[in-house]
Amino acid sequence: MGCQMKPKKESIKFKVPEKKQLKKVTPKPYKAPYLNDQNAIPFFYEYAQKNMENKVRIITKFGEIDVLLYDNTPYHRANFIFLTKKKYFDGTMFHRVVPKFIIQGGNSDSPKSMKKRREIGRYLLPPDTKNGNSHHRGVISMPSSEIDNPHKLASPYEFFIVQQSPGAYHLDGNYTAFGEVIKGMDVVDLINQEKIDKREMPIDNIYIKIRIIN
């Protein structure tokens, strides 16, 4: 090799590793157990800790009713939030109106609502009446089940709002007051004035939707 010639430099090739795309792992949707009288309270105890929402909006053709749910009735608050998130109430009605007393909602004989109840479960909630909540005008409460029920176990799919002024205090101690209307009592009053039949059911159906607002 002559002195004027330069040795060839060996070119070193680096292999750039290919970027691997990470697969997105979609979390499995949470599935609640089929609820019954044995597992409902343990379920709602845990559900209440993880789902802290306490304001809902009831939407009707007459307007909106905003409700604050009490923290001192955790099982009833959790039950109402759970059913709202499951969209159980959508398509149900204010099916009972007692003039100058209450309006009652959450029930419907439609196949869709009956199917939802079958999927969610068959259970009752024990009363929670030792917290000082009273049935003032605008309070939302839970009616007893229609079955033979000496302990006033509550029907979890229904609720009523006190329209009577200043309140329906004879209900205290027997039914669980678990929230109050914070906006929309004029809508409650309009619904309470609707014409009803002998079963206290409005002549014109009053369908509802419920949404969480906080």
Q: Is residue 172 part of a domain?
A: yes
Q: Is the pLDDT of residue 6 over 60?
A: no
* 28-54 pLDDT, tens digit each: 656 899 999 999 999 999 999 999 999
Q: Is residue 35 part of a domain?
A: no
Helix axes 40-50, 74-85, angle to 10 degrees: 80
Q: Is residue 2 part of a domain?
A: no
Torsion sign, CA atoms 108, 110, 113, 117: positive
Q: Is residue 21 part of a domain?
A: no
Instruction: Give the domain CATH number at 207.
Output: 2.40.100.10
Q: Is residue 19 part of a domain?
A: no
Residues 38/121, Cβ–Cβ less than 8 Å: no
Q: Is residue 15 part of a domain?
A: no
Return the closest-CA partner of residue 82 out of 130, 41, 28: 41
Confidence of residue 26 (pLDDT cuts 50, 70, 90): low
Please, which residues have CB within 8 angstroms of residue 132's CB and are 6 or more apart in sequence?
72
Confidence of residue 14 (pLDDT cuts 50, 70, 90): low
* 148-188 pLDDT, tens digit each: 555 668 889 999 999 999 999 999 999 999 999 999 999 99
Looking at residue 204, what DSSP letter applies? S
Domain count within the chain: 1
Q: Is residue 78 part of a domain?
A: yes
Please, which residues have CB within 8 angstroms of residue 98's CB and are 6 or more apart in sequence?
104, 200
Torsion angle, CA of 93/169/41/119, rounded to 10 degrees? -10
Q: Is residue 18 part of a domain?
A: no
Torsion angle, CA of 86/133/163/179, rounded to 10 degrees? -20
Residue 13's SS3 state is coil
Amino acid at 60: T
**What is the C-alpha to C-alpha distance for residues 158 and 98, in angstroms, rounded to an integer?**
15
Host domain of residue 166:
40-212
Average pLDDT over residues 120-142: 95
pTM value is 0.85
**What is the C-alpha to C-alpha distance for residues 20 and 135, in angstroms, rounded to an integer?**
62
Please, which residues have CB within 8 angstroms of residue 18's CB and are 6 or more apart in sequence?
none
